[in-house]
Chain A
């Protein structure tokens, strides 16, 4: 075990996350994991880790950390004014830190969540097949909770890179967000509501967390006679459920079962845009068919493979 970061202040909600806990969803244990899987994966690649090593997920503003040793780090995701010993440090690229360095991650200008990866990953015990923190279940990460002042974070085994890496491009997060969604599973509950949902912008409220994002906007009507709720069924990250008040909720990574009808489901390549949405941002939903969504999924996987390849070639120095 190598001591890596001493936490001087934790930030409002900083947790250890990996790509999720898949073995116990049928027992009510949600997948959890990094909400913005793209930024999380890039952070790991930038420090030379295999894709799935635990990293810190930082919400709105970051921790103040002291480096206890030398290693590579990378900060991706939300634009957070990252400084080391008071100097601007940059994001989406490899940075070598030395023992005693003081890392400050400041409030986000755009986006909502950033990811801090380190050589070897943050070292925490695996619980039920994953290192992800699931705070309501008190499992994973650091004792099943967000990090606190005076926590000592260790890192796993791994060598720093010989050459630093930098992303060829990275997403920009704007307050006007466009995401694509496939109608269903309960599309027939919302014929008229469907047109409203796919034509009007919805504002992210402050009730937005790892379980779900409550939105505000024009009421999404149910058809006359459609029941207020359904027999509880499995829910999926990206489902948009509509409770009786007609205000949509996008379900995120800490949800397993729900009893409200769902009008549509955000496609996988656009989930990170929701993860980076802030209260007050406006989301527009664009309707796509399942076939179109699968084409987009394909492109997305190809794009991720290209980045993977790019970051691991010598040209990128």
Chain B
């Protein structure tokens, strides 16, 4: 799975104050490790004129002030930092448990996912909670994680007609991906359960519970536990 890691990063210009640095052309743990390591090194180095550092699956987006620096200068710094990759100790990724009440009113599509894959509902839950799933990147909506590693036994097509409203906390499957909705939003994922915890809460000291590079493990809970946790909301 490592043949797609580039020998030298590829630079893509994204307008007059941003560019992308690509480290490979696949969704792959090793490429993502490199993205994470270079993001950490660049954040520590905090070069003059760099405004934002945005890690994704296989690339880093860098926004800069063209009056203070240039993409050539930043690329030279990245090149120097590569030499320090070996010395760099990447913090061990955390595993964050997300409690999920599967099926019933919280997971209206779990029977569909089971039938589509010739499984029982209990098997769907068992496979989905096996995890853990790596967070490759966060984006699209606050706290929306893109996870790797959904078991092929659970791959299920999106809904033909998306729902106009999927409640916040819903956990679903779309094709080869699994994920969760941090906010109420329209969407076409097959919803198999819901978490009572708030994935994004601007009022909380830390609005987010995880970051890119961490892993997510889904833990099955009963409807009673769901109700209790939804009321208490202490995490």
Contacts and interface: CB of A to CB of B under 8 A. Distances in A.
Contact of B16 (A29, A127, A233, A290): A290
- The list of the 10 closest CB pairs from A to B, nearest first, reads A257-B139, A234-B61, A265-B15, A185-B12, A234-B54, A293-B16, A184-B13, A256-B139, A236-B18, A139-B202
A160 to B, nearest CB: 34
A234 B139 contact: yes
Contact of B142 (A22, A24, A181, A301): A24
B25 to A, nearest CB: 7
Interface of A: 22, 24-29, 127-128, 136-139, 181-186, 231-234, 236, 238-239, 256-257, 262, 265-268, 290, 293-294, 296-298, 301
Interface of B: 12-20, 25-27, 51-61, 63, 66-67, 70-71, 137-144, 146, 182-183, 185, 200, 202, 207-208, 211-212
Contacts of B26: 231
A182 B12 CA distance: 11
B15 A136 contact: no
A300 B26 CA distance: 39
Contacts of B56: 231-234, 257
Contact of A26 (B51, B54, B57, B70): B54
A181 B146 CA distance: 30
A239 B15 contact: yes
A308 to B, nearest CB: 15
B124 to A, nearest CB: 26
A242 to B, nearest CB: 14
24 contacts: A22-B51, A28-B141, A28-B144, A136-B141, A137-B142, A137-B200, A137-B202, A185-B14, A231-B56, A231-B57, A232-B56, A232-B140, A234-B14, A234-B18, A236-B14, A236-B17, A239-B14, A256-B139, A256-B140, A257-B139, A293-B15, A294-B66, A294-B70, A297-B66
Contact of A137 (B55, B57, B138, B183): B183
B146 A232 contact: yes
A138 B20 contact: no
B93 to A, nearest CB: 16
A248 B15 CA distance: 16
Q: Which of A24, A181, A257, A262 counts the most chain B CB atoms within 10 A?
A: A257
A278 B71 CA distance: 34
Contacts of A298: 66-67
A28 B139 contact: yes
B183 A136 contact: yes
Nearest to A266: B15
Nearest to A271: B15
Contacts of A22: 51-52
A299 to B, nearest CB: 12
A232 B22 CA distance: 12
B57 A297 contact: no
A233 B182 CA distance: 19
B108 to A, nearest CB: 23
Contacts of A236: 14-15, 17-18, 61, 63
Nearest to B144: A28
Contacts of A136: 141, 183, 185
A256 B17 CA distance: 15
Contact of A128 (B54, B57, B207): B207
Nearest to A180: B16
Nearest to B26: A231
Q: Which of A25, A294, A296 counts the most chain B CB atoms within 10 A?
A: A25
Nearest to B71: A290
Given A234-B60, A257-B140, 8 more contacts: A24-B142, A25-B54, A26-B54, A28-B139, A137-B183, A137-B202, A181-B15, A238-B15
Q: Which of A137, A234, A238 counts the most chain B CB atoms within 10 A?
A: A234
B57 to A, nearest CB: 5
Contacts of A27: 138, 142-143, 207-208, 211
A174 B173 CA distance: 46
A168 B56 CA distance: 44
A136 B142 CA distance: 10
A240 B139 CA distance: 18
